[in-house]
Structure 1
Amino acid sequence: MPRDAPDWIIERRREPGDRIADLRVAAHHTQESFCEATGISRSHLQRIESGEADPRYGDLLRIAAALDTRVSLLVD
């Protein structure tokens, strides 16, 4: 994400990451156990949860499956 992105875009990028982190914690997963369950590297998961990286659709599918939820819940 370019550093000159408007604040509203930066904030909207954080929302799915916050939701993923909240659901992961509620499911009693550490980042390490969640990475094992999803096949996503810990550094990439950290960047997704912090809003620094946009998750690819495949990442969202893996995350939703590990959380037993729908992709739409993660990004809505």
Structure 2
Amino acid sequence: MPRDEPEWIMERRRALGERIGDLRAAAHHSQESFAEATGISRRTLQRIESGDGDPRYSDLLRIAAALKKDMAALVETGSS
């Protein structure tokens, strides 16, 4: 992943990963069981949750579906 991303993008990526991890944990999934439920590799899920991975649109759709959430709830930033 390019490290020349603006800091605000990296901050939002980390916030997204944290939100996904919190929702996953609240749904009582381990990373392993959630990876299995979404069809996303555990390593990819780890990278998304840590903010190191830049999730594909299809990954976000799978995550939202597994959490029974609208994808907008995953990506909303709370700021304009």
Q: TM-score, normalized by length of structure 2?
A: 0.88
Task: Give me the CA root mean square deviation.
Answer: 1.0
Per-residue CA deviations over 1:48-76 (Å, capped at 9, x if unaligned) read 00111111111111101110001000001
- Alignment partner, residue 35 of structure 2: 35
> Partners of 2:4 and 2:61 in 1: how far apart?
30
After the TM superposition, which parts of structure 1 deviate over 6 Å for at least 4 consecutive aligned residues? none
Is 1:68 aligned with 2:68? yes
- Alignment partner, residue 16 of structure 1: 16
Residue 2 of structure 1: how far off its partner (Å): 2.3
Percent same amino acid among aligned pairs?
71
Structure 2 residue matching 1:4: 3-state secondary structure: coil
Residue 5 of structure 1: how far off its partner (Å): 2.8
Residue 6 of structure 1: how far off its partner (Å): 3.0
State the AA in 2 paired with 1:63.
Answer: I
